[in-house]
Structure 1
Amino acid sequence: MSLEFSSSDDTLSVERVIGALDDEACREIVAVLEDPMTVEEVAEATDRPLSTTYRKLDRLTDAGLVEEAVGIREGRHQTSRYVATLGRLSIALDGDNELRADIDRARGHSIWSDR
């Protein structure tokens, strides 16, 4: 039985998406990213070390489940904010009894809103 993937961005690997969501820390991060947050804010909200938070955000970004935007604050320091892009994930059998994964991405959320 093969796994067929459909999404607004078919270039993403199903294995990366499912692998990231199989990771408890990654799921916890996606859950807290309703609004854009910095790495430090995510680490505090999930009670995880910064090093772990950076690794998990990289994994989620690579899987297309989190979006990163870099901005410039006072003094030319750069800061990144992250927001979850996963709206819904469903895995089901299609008419040919093949597994099909559908990902709906959250849209219309500005990564810099309200912050």
Structure 2
Amino acid sequence: MLVTRAETDIEVSDAELLTLMGSEAANAILRTVTEPMTVKEIHQFAAVPLSTAYREVNRLAEANLLEERIQLNPRRGRHANRYVRTFDTIEIQMTDEGVVVQLLS
């Protein structure tokens, strides 16, 4: 059974989520991204290689554990993608019925 907060549906299976959460890089990124950050900022603050940061941010965003926000810079005519966690706390429990995952705000 998979339980999520109402406004966020996790887009991966229980097994995929547990594999993702087992990644040291993904955990470092999730601990770091408490406010909107670019992948380059995540790479610096989470102390993971840039290529790993891009890969893990994409995996976490696909699973809806990170939310992408676009910041426009009207002076330069450019934009920056920033990412932020979709939850404050994650709880993973093993029960007789299976894995229960709760994302709490």
Structure-2 separation of matches of 1:51 and 1:11: 24
Alignment partner, residue 78 of structure 1:
79
Matching residue of 2:102: 103
The alignment status of 1:6 with 2:3, answered yes or no, reads yes
1:19-61 superposed Cα distances (whole Å, 9 cap, x missing partner): 2111110000000111111111111112222221111100111
Q: Which amino acid counterpart does residue 80 of structure 1 have in structure 2? A: N
Q: Is the 8 A contact 2:10 2:65 kept in 1?
A: no
Larger radius of gyration: 1
Q: Tell me the TM-score normalised to structure 1 length.
A: 0.75
Percent of aligned pairs sharing the same letter: 26
Structure 1: 5+ residue runs without aligned partners? 107-115
Output the amino acid matched with 1:34.
T
Separation in structure 1 between the aligned mates of residue 97 and residue 30 of structure 2, nearest angstrom? 28
SS in 1 for 2:27: helix
- Asked if the contact 1:20/1:63 (under 8 Å) is kept, the reply is no
Tell me what 2:15 maps to: 15
Q: Contact 1:16–1:62 (CA<8 Å) still a contact in 2?
A: no
* DSSP 3-state at the match of 1:36: coil
Count of matched residue pairs: 100
**d(CA) in 2 for partners of 1:90 and 1:64?**
16
Q: Is the partner of 2:91 in helix, strand or coil?
A: strand
Matching of residues 35-50 of structure 1 within 5 Å: 35-50=35-50
Which residue in the other structure is 1:88 paired with? 90
* Alpha-carbon distance, 1:92 to partner: 3.3
What's the RMSD between the two structures over aligned residues? 1.8
